[in-house]
Amino acid sequence: MGGVNTEVGTDQQAGAQGAGQASAVAGEGVESGFDAALREQLAAGSEVARRAIAEFAGSGVGEYLGSAVEEDFTTTHRFVAELTGYRGWYWACVLALVPGGELTVDEIALLPGSEALVAPEWVPWEKRVRAGDLGAGDLLPPSDDDERLVPGHTLTGDERLDELTGPIGLGREQHLSPEGRAMAAQRWTAERGPDSEIARSAKHSCHTCGFLLPLEGQLSRMFGVCANEYSADGQVVHLQYGCGAHSSVEAPKSTASEIPEAYDDSAVDVVVLPQQLRAAAKARAEAEAAEGTEAAAADAPATEAPAAENAEAPAAEQPDQDA
């Protein structure tokens, strides 16, 4: 683009800056000599600005977008940039005019508008690593001036830790500084703190949960580690954090009326009780006894009848003695 100013600054920022400077110019224009006549001449110089951009860029100058006064004796004219890959950008041409002079081109720039696609904000190399970027085999040494760490012979500010390790620092060359603890507490609170959505909807807090593993030191007053595999297992949680897997949670009681259980009669085994068996046996015995009595009563007349006939027969056959 051959020396074209492409400094990134959105159209909204430019408009806000221009509005503020224009208001200042409106109050100081008379004293500086920047009067209405000069303003009108500058505002009418849109074609001068278009020709200047076309001469500089060769092509790609589109629709006129308007003008704005940003400094005394100057006016910025804007045009749509019809260039491949510069959607949302615009040309800006600054014209200058002094009393008794002619319009001159002060500056030409290609700037991004509010909908332009621009490069992300520059981030220094040492600050480009983000949480979760560290992988197997990667090395991420702390910087020499890392505020999160203090030398091992320096007191950490944690009374309980300092009392145990002493001023010389046992076992470690560096300790977590008060700033490092504060930064960690801020991260942990933001992710699993009392203001999170799940904590606000929970009935119980972590400080009363049986799954909470306490920490040591000053941070133990605010945080612990969750040991519930169905919740934030292995994660640091705020003591006022909470979830639905608290150890005191009970299953909700059903308010619906109980429905009688249905039975399939064909699948039910009939069980005969002992007393029923005894009663059945007794009934059979009584029935058999009754049948025997009836049979005996029926056989008795048949056996006595011949005896009676035999007793009467001789009486009929005796001869008359008188004869």
User: What pLDDT score was predicted for residue 310?
Assistant: 54
7-16 pLDDT, tens digit per residue, is: 444 444 444 4
- pLDDT value at position 166? 55
Which run of H or E residues covers position 40? helix 36-43
User: What confidence score (pLDDT) does residue 202 get?
Assistant: 85
What does the pLDDT read at residue 52? Answer: 93
What pLDDT sits at residue 7?
47
Q: What's the pLDDT at 119?
A: 85
CA distances from 73 to 43, 80, 97 (A): 11, 24, 5
> Hey, where are the domains in the chain?
11-112, 180-238
Residues recorded for the chain:
323
Give the Cα separation of 193 and 237 in Å (integer): 7
- Burial string for 89-98 (b: 16+ CB within 10 Å, else e) reads bbbbbbbbbe
DSSP 173: S
Distance from C-alpha of 159 to C-alpha of 147, rounded to nearest angstrom: 19
Own/partner pairs, 305-309, CB within 8 angstroms, 24+ separation: none
Q: Which pLDDT score is estimated for 300?
A: 65
Q: What's residue 15's pLDDT? A: 46
How confident is the prediction along the chain (323 residues), in pLDDT tens digits per residue? 444 454 444 444 444 444 444 444 444 455 566 788 888 888 888 999 999 999 998 888 999 999 998 888 899 999 999 988 888 999 999 999 888 888 899 999 999 998 888 888 888 877 788 777 777 877 777 777 777 777 766 666 777 766 666 544 455 677 788 898 899 999 999 889 999 888 888 888 998 998 999 888 888 889 999 988 888 899 999 999 988 888 888 877 777 777 777 766 666 677 778 888 888 888 888 888 888 787 777 776 655 555 545 555 555 455 554 54
**Taking a C-beta distance cutoff of 8 angstroms, is the pair 248, 209 a contact?**
yes
Compute φ and ψ for 109, nearest 5 degrees: -145, 150
